[in-house]
Amino acid sequence: MPDKNSECISPQSHYILPADRTSKKKRLFWSILITFLIMLLEGLGGLFTKSLALISDAGHMLTHFVALGISLFAIIIAEKPPTEEKTFGYLRFEILAALFNSVFLFALTGYIIYEAYERMHNPIPIKGIEMFAVAFLGLVANLITGLILFKVSHGDLNIRSAFLHLVGDTISSVGVVIAAVIIHFTGLFLLDTVISLVIAVLIAIWGVRLFLESVNILLQGIPKEVRISSLNERITQVEGVNGIHDTHVWAISSKMNVFTAHIVIDNISVSETEKLLRDINKILLDEFNIFHTTIQFETERKNRTHV
């Protein structure tokens, strides 16, 4: 039997229904707007009150702002159709943006650590009441943004990632609020520096994770939710499949995994291979989150000629 190349393509437009996509874009837009305004408030407030913790929290909110922006960008860019020059469309823009963001986060972390070191040697008086007011507004804004995103964070890995990052940002805001109260009543200005260092660590952790995930995708590494050995074993359990080899799995973006493989079958009819293809694609989609597949069927005899 001649080889049969079979392909199943699930465009990004199939991942999200139009109405659902519109709802997500609106919620992300309002979340981005609120985050941007509070980020500016905390940044300016930090300069006014001389609070490095506020400036650091503004930097942390900047990472949240960029994370939300990447999520919105991923939805918008998914609507752009592929071209003859870019057959997968522009989905990799999301990964490039994430990579550039991670590099910026490293620079921001370095700045905060440098400023913290300077302030440990030369403490600066901080306006506790004003610091508290700004930090409290930031905390409220994080809670509002969290409520906006919570409804659409389920079932969407990209938005869920942004939502979890928001949780971390909220925790850092709570820390700044508590620090402001303690500073006001005790004059312990060093606490501001300590809180800023804690936030710097959070930013660094987020940056490293973002950098590693971005590089893994750009190097066409295996998505973290997929294990080749488990995948191959599961495919060989399908009735009619005698073997599998030349398996490759990689990600085009955070939401589009790709699979190619040679699958060994008996000398069966074309209609039977079509049913087999549907069964395999259903397993890949439901169990391994793989939307785009290219499968080459071959017989035992053809497979032996490849060895």
User: What pTM did the predictor assign?
Assistant: 0.73
More confident site: 152 or 142: 142
Radius of gyration of the chain (CA): 25
Per-residue pLDDT, 57: 85
Per-residue model confidence (pLDDT) at position 230 = 94
Lowest mean pLDDT among 74-83, 121-130, 225-234, 262-271: 74-83
Determine the Cα–Cα distance for residues 182 and 191; give it in Å rounded to an integer: 8
Is pLDDT above 70 for 155?
no
Task: Please report, for the chain, how many H helices and E strands are present, in that order.
Answer: 9, 4
Q: Which of 61, 29, 30 is nearest to 43 (CA)?
A: 61
Per-residue confidence (pLDDT) for residue 45, from 0 to 100? 92
pLDDT tier at 238, thresholds 50, 70, 90? very high
Strands 292-299 and 256-265: parallel
At residue 13 the predicted structure's pLDDT band, cuts being 50, 70 and 90, is very low
CA distance 124 to 283: 61
Concatenating the DSSP letter of every residue in 73-111 gives HHHHHHTSPP-SS-TTTTTHHHHHHHHHHHHHHHHHHHH
Confidence of residue 288 (pLDDT cuts 50, 70, 90): very high
When pLDDT is cut at 50, 70 and 90, the band that residue 9 belongs to is: very low
Q: Which of 181, 188, 298 is closest to 243 using CA atoms?
A: 298
How far is residue 130's CA from residue 152's CA, in Å, rounded to a whole number? 34
Residue 302 has pLDDT above 60, yes or no: no
More confident residue, 259 or 82: 259
Residue 303 is predicted with a pLDDT of 54
Identify the H or E element spanning 72: helix 52-78
Q: Which domains does the chain have, with CATH numbers?
A: 16-218 (1.20.1510), 223-306 (3.30.70.1350)
pLDDT at 287: 92
DSSP secondary structure string for all residues of 175-219 = HHHHHHHHHHHH--THHHHHHHHHHHHHHHHHHHHHHHHHHHHHT
Q: Which amino acid is at 198?
A: V
Pick from 241, 251, 260, 116: nearest CA to 190: 116
Mean pLDDT of the chain: 83
pLDDT at 153: 61
